């Protein structure tokens, strides 16, 4: 069997219920533990749809997705949520404290572990400055924190769960380039044994990725490292220069 946390797509096709044309066609790749797999492509290419298939928000229409060699359908909801942390493109905070938001998916995490997760997510300063700190109140939808803070709290939430697979959907876009770089450097150690899949808008976020998949109209049109794609893929070159 492949290592735990490995994500495999085998010739996956997906169409939204009721839609005529598939949004994803013939998607095959393997995201290995200890590696970062990046997905890049223009808006509407199907990046979010692809990520959402992994925690089974939808099921593939054709083909198969496996985690650690086990088909998703055999894995069960509980194992999926225990092993996979997803930071969605529109990260969501619910009404409650910062601590309760961070413990969603990590009920047993100690305060110390929450502070560690916040530190990695470059959030120590703004949480420390809030009255009540971990116990400070978040309003429904997280409207009393900024978009970038909300994004970082959702990254801290993902880290607190200590999963084997991380899914980041455009999770660094609300951060300035500097914070983006610091956060990703800090992520290296806690995610070093996990399979990390990152959807990115900025090429600078993914130049170090072990594998980059270029998605265009629901198909992988090129794959490789940043250097390889600069040589081989016109679509990638266009993304880099756009």
Decide: is 25 part of the binding site for Mg ion (CB under 5 A). no
Binding partner selected for residue 46 from ligand M5T, Mg ion, none, CB under the kind-specific 5 to 8 Å limit: ligand M5T
Among 7, 8, 14, 47, binds ligand M5T (CB under 6 A): 47
List the Cα angle 28/34/39 in 5-degree steps.
40
Residue 49 interacting entry, from ligand M5T, Mg ion, none, C-beta within 5 to 8 Å by type: ligand M5T
And the tokens for 35?
Answer: 């590696």
Tell me which of 3, 44, 185, 192 binds ligand M5T, using CB under 6 A: 44
Buried/exposed code over 99-126 (b: 16+ C-beta within 10 A; e: otherwise): bbbbbebbeebeeebbbbbbebbbbeeb
Q: What is the DSSP string of 58-95?
A: S--SEEEEEETTEEHHHH-HHHHHHHEEEE-SS----S
Choose the stretch contacting ligand M5T; rule: CB under 6 A; options: 46-54, 124-132, 153-161, 228-236: 46-54
Nearer to ligand M5T, 58 or 126 (CB): 58
Residue span binding Mg ion (CB under 5 A) among the ranges 45-53, 155-163, 178-186, 203-211: 45-53
Angle at 36 between CA 33 and CA 37, to 5 degrees: 105
By CB under 5 A, tell whether 48 contacts Mg ion: yes
Coil vs helix vs strand at 198: strand
Contact between 89 and ligand M5T (CB under 6 A)? yes
Residues at the contact surface with Mg ion, assessed by CB under 5 A: 47-48, 89
């Amino acid at each position: 069997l492949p290592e735990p946390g490995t994500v495999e797509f085998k010739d996956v096709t997906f169409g939204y219920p009721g839609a005529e044309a598939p949004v994803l066609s013939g998607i095959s790749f393997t995201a290995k533990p200890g590696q970062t797999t990046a997905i890049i492509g223009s808006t509407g290419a199907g990046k979010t749809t692809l990520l959402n298939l992994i925690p089974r928000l939808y099921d593939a229409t054709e083909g198969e997705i496996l985690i650690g060699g086990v088909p998703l359908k055999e894995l069960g909801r509980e194992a999926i949520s225990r092993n996979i942390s997803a930071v969605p493109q529109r990260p969501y905070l619910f009404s409650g404290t910062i601590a309760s938001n961070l413990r969603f998916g990590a009920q047993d995490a100690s305060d110390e572990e929450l502070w560690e997760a916040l530190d990695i997510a470059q959030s120590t300063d703004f949480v420390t400055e809030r009255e009540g700190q971990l116990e400070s109140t978040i309003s429904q939808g997280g409207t009393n924190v900024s978009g970038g803070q909300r994004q970082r709290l959702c990254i801290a939430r993902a880290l607190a769960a200590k999963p084997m697979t991380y899914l980041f959907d455009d999770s660094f876009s609300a951060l300035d380039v500097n914070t983006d770089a610091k956060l990703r450097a800090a992520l290296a150690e806690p995610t070093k044994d996990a399979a990390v899949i990152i959807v990115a808008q900025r090429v600078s976020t993914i130049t170090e990725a072990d594998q980059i998949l270029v998605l265009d109209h629901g198909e992988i049109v090129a794959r490789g490292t940043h250097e390889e794609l600069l040589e081989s893929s016109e679509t990638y070159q266009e993304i880099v220069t756009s």
